[in-house]
A and B are shown apart, each in its own frame.
Chain A
Amino acid sequence: MDYEQVVVYIPNLRRYARALVGDRHAADDLVQDTLERAVRKFHLWRPGDLRAWLFSVMHNVFVNQLKSRRIPPSAELDENFAGATTPGWVTDVRDLERGLALLSAEQREVLLMVSLEDMTYEQVSRALGVPMGTVMSRLSRAREKLRRHMDGEPERTDLKVVK
């Protein structure tokens, strides 16, 4: 059993988890639980796409954490940026973060696997255990919602009236 194979994907799992749940500690908790589960279930992995398998393990752990409400409902990113390139970049990033938080967990998973992890629809479908058609429809809804938010269109949320 060659754990070095798993180790090379730890940075990818961390990047994805950070974007998925926001908070650094919650994200690393997710990665740690994923690695522990992957190690326990490693005998189930058949040589093939290890990355997609690790992401499917992370998906299962994530779903369980959501169910047990261990993931904070509103992901808030807790970092400062070192190298802001242009003045607009930081605000773009803030918009991006808020936009990500507005997506459903399912939409966020698909969007990040495709746009950040550069996975194919087929790999995403395998990792999430849903048909390709579902992947594509979630992706297009996620992109549209995020783009609308980034363009500054007001959210159609049901605002509570404070009396």
Chain B
Amino acid sequence: MKPDDDLSRLLHERFDPVLVEPIPARLQLRRPAWIGHARAAAVLAVGIAIGLALPFTWRGAPQTGPVASAGAPALPVRAARAHLVYAVEVRHPVEVDASQQEHLVAWLSKRLGTKLKVPALTAEGFELLGGRLLPGPDGPVAQFMYQEGAGRRLTLYVSARAKGEGQTAFRFAQEGAVSVFYWIDGNWCYALSGEIDRPALSRISTSVYRQLNP
């Protein structure tokens, strides 16, 4: 056998399995319906595109909430949809799990272009599971996932503030069974989502806010 063929065969044996790996959500190309035909550049839409397919009614008043950029759903809606998509995942709820927390934070910080902090919610009974990178209408989004012993999950959604979006104090939104507390602080938006009652989520959100703003 020619050695070049050996080399090629070995390369194929080693790397061909990548061809059939499931494609991570962030690499799935979606045509964003919400951008409209004039700006019909495809984006890497991803959790959001999946989320848009879910039957949702936004019962809040979008005018009073944060201004959505380019017709994209408002922050709490995006966060709730991303929560719904990934919180139910059994095998791959996160892309990078908490055992590699340092790597996870460094990676997401690099992708978002800021130094991210991950709040510890152990005192509230939630352990960090890990995180993933999602696309958003205004750049990449970090999603951190926490899990309670009983199995309930919380997600913290961190994205850059869109142009035209003002500062927002704590606000509450309810998307179906998902409760969301969200706020905009400096150039960053935060949303904590979970299928959990409002007082408990409020308490945890306060803890998150305090840890991010010591």
- With contacts A25-B96, A39-B41 known, is A14 near B27, CB below 8 A? yes
Q: Does A7 contact B (CB under 8 A)?
A: yes
Among residues of B, the one whose C-beta sits closest to the C-beta of A147 is B3
The complex places the Cα of A77 from the Cα of B7 at a distance, in Å, of 18
The complex places the Cα of A112 from the Cα of B10 at a distance, in Å, of 12
In the bound complex, residues from chain B placing their C-beta under 8 Å from that of A85 are: 13
The complex places the Cα of A11 from the Cα of B31 at a distance, in Å, of 19
Contact of B23 among A10, A18, A143 (CB under 8 A): A10
The complex places the Cα of A95 from the Cα of B57 at a distance, in Å, of 55
What mask results when residues 5 to 44 of chain A are scored 1 for a CB within 8 Å of chain B, else 0?
0110011101100110000010011011001100110100
What mask results when residues 70 to 105 of chain A are scored 1 for a CB within 8 Å of chain B, else 0?
100000000000100100010011001100000000
DSSP majority for the B interface? helix
Q: Does B68 contact A (CB under 8 A)?
A: no
What count of chain A residues pass the 8 Å CB interface test?
36
Q: Does A116 contact B (CB under 8 A)?
A: yes
In the bound complex, residues from chain B placing their C-beta under 8 Å from that of A115 are: 4, 7-8, 11
Whether the pair A10, B18 counts as a contact (CB closer than 8 A) is: no
Whether the pair A35, B27 counts as a contact (CB closer than 8 A) is: yes
List the interface of chain B (C-beta within 8 A of A): 3-4, 7-8, 10-21, 23-24, 26-29, 31, 40-44, 95-96, 103, 107, 110-111
Whether the pair A18, B4 counts as a contact (CB closer than 8 A) is: no
In the bound complex, residues from chain B placing their C-beta under 8 Å from that of A82 are: 17
Whether the pair B15, A18 counts as a contact (CB closer than 8 A) is: yes
Q: Does A146 contact B (CB under 8 A)?
A: yes
Whether the pair A28, B13 counts as a contact (CB closer than 8 A) is: no
In the bound complex, residues from chain A placing their C-beta under 8 Å from that of B12 are: 116
The complex places the Cα of A18 from the Cα of B100 at a distance, in Å, of 20
Q: Does A1 contact B (CB under 8 A)?
A: yes
In the bound complex, residues from chain B placing their C-beta under 8 Å from that of A11 are: 18-21, 23
The complex places the Cα of A143 from the Cα of B10 at a distance, in Å, of 13
Contact of B15 among A6, A31, A116 (CB under 8 A): A116
Closest chain-B Cβ to A146's Cβ sits at a distance in Å of: 6
